[in-house]
Amino acid sequence: MITRSRQVALVLTALLTAGAACRAGGHEPPNRPAPAPSAAEAGAFTLVASGDVLPHDSIIERARFDAGGTGHDFRPMLADAQPVVAPADLALCHMETVYGAAGDYSGYPFFKSPPEVADALADTGYDGCSTASNHSVDDGADGIRRTLDALDRAGVRHAGTARAEAEAHTATLMHAGRAKVAHLAYTLHTNGHPLPDGQPWAVGLIDEERILAESRAARRAGADVVVVSLHWGTEWQDEPDATQLALASSLTAARTGDRPDIDLILGTHAHVPQAYEKVNGTWVVYGMGDQIAGEMTNGRGAPDQRGNQSTIGRFTFAPPARPGERWRVTRAEFVPYLFDVDAGRVVNLNRAVEKGAEVQGVRDRIRDVVLSRGAAGDGLVMGK
């Protein structure tokens, strides 16, 4: 008898060897996958973003197995995300953990991940990652330095943690088509652990005034689009909590002149997918869920498969009609994913359903959560 996880693994093998199918454009109901966006509008760009990369001990062991017992190879884990990530003009991940060195690697509760994670992120197509999280100081200043050094070597930009004060106060600017995009990142806390001695700037902590000040500074530095990543919320709660709702409302309401200070908010931390919502005309993803994580147990100590469910958000931005106006999101999509802990692979659930895997119930649960705050009415669709 083939179990659900084994069936997913078999389907994934077929997916990775199959060519991508082309679909005609058009609006589809939110319970069906929408086709990938066309780049018909001159100057438009696509941005994709995904959830927490959280290598537990089992993930580290799997990466060592995939590397043949020497080193660690995380690329096979992420292979089924590549068809969504790589074609984007700008792709952002969330690197929740810091990196260790010389074989000193560990999972929960103090994470030190193999630096080869950075190479896998680059090979998957990620251009940048948020790094501010509750685990940012799991190995003090050395962990932050090793992580950012490894991301630099891999060519992956980063935002949210810093090796020097000047770095902490400099916006990460990236190009997407002809747009310049600023990426800022902050975390609600660091699990009660102090910031490195004498380095209060090492981790970006959520503070509304700071976020808005740095968003405005990024705009003055030339950013056409400002993206803010927030590590926030209540773990294992499908619904955004009161703090998320209040902060999302105030941040998206902030304007300089007629232009919003923030163009997109990307949330992580809760371990489970949360809703997407358009707030004050700006898209907010309250929580994307864990893209990579070992078998998860929730706050009650019970195994919880939601901890291996996630989404990738995809937003198409079009240039302003007139100078000084904002870049507009003309298409908003989400793609539901599962991390199959048995196979050690991320799985695009829409493609898996098409290939016959019995995962439609998981896919539909994620869809229902994502759309639970009325995003379908604002045009959010499920992409492939």
Mean pLDDT of 243-257: 97
pLDDT at 9: 47
Asked whether residue 334 is domain-assigned, the answer is yes
State residue 33's pLDDT score. 57
Report residue 235 CA to chain centroid gap. 16
Instruction: Evaluate whether residue 21 is within a structural domain.
Output: no
Is residue 369 one of the residues assigned to a domain?
A: yes
Asked whether residue 274 is domain-assigned, the answer is yes
The residue to which tokens 């500074």 are assigned? 217
- Structural domain including 366 reads 39-383
Residue at 63 is within a domain: yes
pLDDT of residue 114: 98
Residues 384 and 329: their CA atoms lie apart, in Å, by: 18
| Predicted confidence (pLDDT) per residue in 333-342, tens digit | 999 999 999 9
CATH code: domain of residue 246: 3.60.21.10
Q: Do residues 337 and 15 touch, judged by C-beta distance below 8 A?
A: no
Longest dimension (CA), the chain: 63
Least confident range from 2-6, 70-74, 127-131, 220-224: namely 2-6
pLDDT at 20: 35
User: pLDDT tens digits, residue range 65-101?
Assistant: 999 999 999 999 999 999 999 999 999 999 999 999 9
Using pLDDT thresholds of 50, 70 and 90, give the confidence band for residue 34.
low
Say how far apart CA 161 and CA 123 lie, in whole Å: 22
Is there a domain that residue 72 lies in? yes
What does pTM read for this prediction? 0.91
Q: What is the predicted pLDDT for the residue at 265?
A: 99
Is 181:90 a contact under the CB 8 Å cutoff? yes
Examine the pLDDT at 39 and tell me if it is beyond 80.
no
pLDDT at 246: 98
3-state SS class at 23: coil
Residue 26 covered by a domain: no
Beta-bridged to residue 172, according to DSSP, are: 183
Mean pLDDT of 102-116: 97
Q: What domain count does the chain have?
A: 1
- For residue 198, the one-letter residue type is G
